[in-house]
Structure 1
Amino acid sequence: MGLRAILHLCLHAAVPALLAWLFWRERFGRAWLLLLLGWVIDLDHLLADPVYAPDRCSIGFHPLHTAPAIVLYGGLVVPRRTRLFGIGLLVHVALDAIDCAWMRCMSS
């Protein structure tokens, strides 16, 4: 696994931790856990062959990483009960999009 992939995975844990600490410090553990649940959308990688391809952009390729799904994640931010989970999903997608941009820059 390359440096980019390792950094990408670390950011998927670190960014939710930072957000939980900054905005929901009094309930950090619960907030971080709900934000980390955004990783659940990577289950769609199991539909791909190969399951993990380090040079493949997830956005637009995997079903749970498409525009209609992302709109639904935005909708989850509205109700208070699902807000942290929705934010976690959107953070996950944003980090994946940054990874895609990084891949494009590295291949140019």
Structure 2
Amino acid sequence: MSLRAILHLGLHAAIPALLAWLFWRPQFAKAWMLLLLGWVIDLDHLLADPIYAPDRCSIGFHPLHTAPAVVLYAGLVMPRRTRLFGIGLLLHIALDAIDCVWMRCSS
């Protein structure tokens, strides 16, 4: 696994932890877990062949990584009950988009 891929996966855990600690410290563990649920959208990788391709940009390729899906995730931020999950989904998309930029810059 490349350094970029390891860093990408690490950021998917570290950034939600940092946000939970900064903004929801009294409920850190619960907030972090709800933010980490953003990884659920990677289930769409199971539809691809190969399932994991470190050189493939997820944005726009996988169904749960498309613009219509992002609109739904943004809608989840509005109700208080789903807010942290929605933020986790949007954060996941943002980190995947950053990874796509890193891929383009390194090729």
Quick check: TM above 0.5? yes
The answer for the alignment partner of 2:21 in structure 1 is: 21
SS at match of 1:96: helix
Give me the whole-angstrom Cα distance separating, in 2, the residues matched to 1:16 and 1:88.
Answer: 7
The answer for the alignment partner of 1:68 in structure 2 is: 68
Gaps of 5+ in 2: none
Give me the whole-angstrom Cα distance separating, in 2, the residues matched to 1:30 and 1:52.
Answer: 29
Give me the whole-angstrom Cα distance separating, in 2, the residues matched to 1:46 and 1:64.
Answer: 11
How far off is 1:25 after superposition? 0.2
How far off is 1:52 after superposition? 0.3
The answer for the alignment partner of 1:6 in structure 2 is: 6
RMSD: 0.2
How far off is 1:77 after superposition? 0.1
The answer for the alignment partner of 1:39 in structure 2 is: 39
TM-score when normalising by structure 1: 0.99
The answer for the alignment partner of 1:51 in structure 2 is: 51
The answer for the alignment partner of 2:88 in structure 1 is: 88
The percent of aligned pairs where both chains have the same amino acid is: 85
Give me the whole-angstrom Cα distance separating, in 2, the residues matched to 1:11 and 1:100.
Answer: 14
- Structure 1 stretches of 4+ moved >2 Å: none
Could you give the per-residue CA deviations for residues 73-99 of structure 1, whole angstroms, max 9, x where no partner exists?
000000000000000000000000000
AA paired with 1:8?
H
Gaps of 5+ in 1: none
How far off is 1:7 after superposition? 0.3
